Structure 1
């Protein structure tokens, strides 16, 4: 099965992990290139982030990588206030396939939704991919804005960020926590990434993250296997688990071969606009 990674990060100076250095153990680009050769990963959605001073310039770095590595499908970090049309066009010329926004609360979601109201036409014309790190409270404010992005693919990261769970939640509790997100399931262009399961566990290294299972089950039932996307969350995930462990998220073991093909790569390949989809559809030769 050929994979495609729907969520990873690459930083010029490395992700500053829990021990003050990148948990990848080396230059992140070099390490990830080796991992994708080993595990047959083709295209990868590289999510930009500039939410702190230590991450400044990440968009420029990703633009440089995308110019030389055609398997990289980069998403440019944007603040909740959005960007102007000229900046969006510059991102497009630098091979960005879409945007990444981080919405931790209802106020940031309202701000982002206001920007989308003006930018929807340009984003739809480009068939942009949007990656949203949004809490359930934020997701609940985005319905009308996301409905206007019907020419785009909108992906919520990390199971919709239900938060760390001190115990395995009941199906009813999981449904209640993610109700604002699952309320968006009627929008056919909205999907969810099965990524960052460590962020649900307490402790975070409690692999295979049993506390995430009720959320995965819920998302399977509400969104289906054609709108779930596997992501490694390289390199932050390596603070807590091995890369090999990210390949096997809890709750997906019962998928049929066709369903697994969709979740672990097929859905992302269909989401990526050409030419990124065509040029990066195959894993590298070994």
Structure 2
């Protein structure tokens, strides 16, 4: 089965994991290239992050990588207050497919919503992909702003970040926790990444992360398999699980073969093809296979 990874990171000096070095165990690009060949990953949405001084320059790094590797589809990190129009134009000239924002609370979500409402036109014109790390408290502040981005693809990372669960929550508790996110299912251009399940487990390495199952069940019910997107969260996930384990997230065992293919690549592949057609760029088309 061909796969498209909806969420990973690549840092020039490696992700500083829980032990002070990259859990990938080597040059992250080289390691991921081996993994994508082994697991048939044809494309990867590489999510930018510059939220700390040790990550400064990640956008420049991703732009260089995307120039050299056509399977890399990069998203540029933006602060919660966004960037000016010149910054958006620069991202587009550097072949970024969209932007990534990290919204930990209501205040940051309000700031981001104010900015993104003002630049909805350029983002829609570019058919941008937006990757949002936002817990339910933040997601609940974004509805009006995201409704204006109907020419974009908006993806919430890590099952909507419901937080660590000391025990498996009831379906009712899961629904209550993610209600601000599932309310956004009314917007057909909004989806959710099945990634970072370790961020729900307590402890984080408690694979297969049974506490995540009620959330996956809920998201399947509200968004459907056509708007869920598998992501490895390489390399941070490797602090807790193996890469092979990220390929088997809990809660997807009841899907049909067609639905599995959709979640693990078909949905994002189609979204990127629509983006390439809508924006008039070549970025987002699928390479022939994981060969580089």
Match of 2:283 in 1: 276
Counterpart of 1:147 in structure 2 is 147
Give 2:279's aligned residue: none
Counterpart residue number, 1:212: 212
For structure 1, the 5+ residue unaligned runs are: none
1:261 corresponds to: 261
Contact 2:97 2:284 in 1 (8 A): no
TM-score by length of 1: 0.98
Distance 2:160 2:203 in 1: 19
Which residue number in structure 2 is paired with residue 189 of structure 1?
Answer: 189
- 1:281 Cα offset (Å): 4.0
> Distance between the aligned counterparts of 2:53 and 2:73, measured in 1?
24
Residues paired across the two proteins, number: 285
Question: Does 2:26 correspond to 1:26?
Answer: yes
- SS of alignment partner, residue 185 of structure 2: coil
SS in 1 for 2:184: coil
8 Å Cα contact 2:100/2:131 also seen in 1: yes
Whole-angstrom CA distance in 1 between matches of 2:96 and 2:212: 31
Q: Which residue of 2 aligns with 1:167?
A: 167
The range that moved more, 253-262 or 145-154, is 253-262
Query: Which residue in the other structure is 2:127 paired with?
Result: 127
Q: Hey, what's the Cα distance between the residues in 2 that align with 1:86 and 1:49?
A: 20
Structure 2: any 5+ residue segments left out of the alignment? 277-281
TM-score (norm 2): 0.96
Listed one character per residue, the Cα deviations across residues 6-33 of structure 1 (whole Å, up to 9, x for unaligned) are: 0000000000000000000000000000
Is the contact between residue 192 and residue 228 of structure 2 (CA under 8 Å) also seen in structure 1?
yes
SS in 2 for 1:141: coil
Runs of 4+ in 1 over 6 A off after TM superposition: none
Q: Which moved more, 1:269-278 or 1:45-54?
A: 269-278
The alpha carbon displacement at 1:285 in A equals 3.6
Asked whether the 8 Å contact 2:70–2:287 carries over to 1, the reply is: no
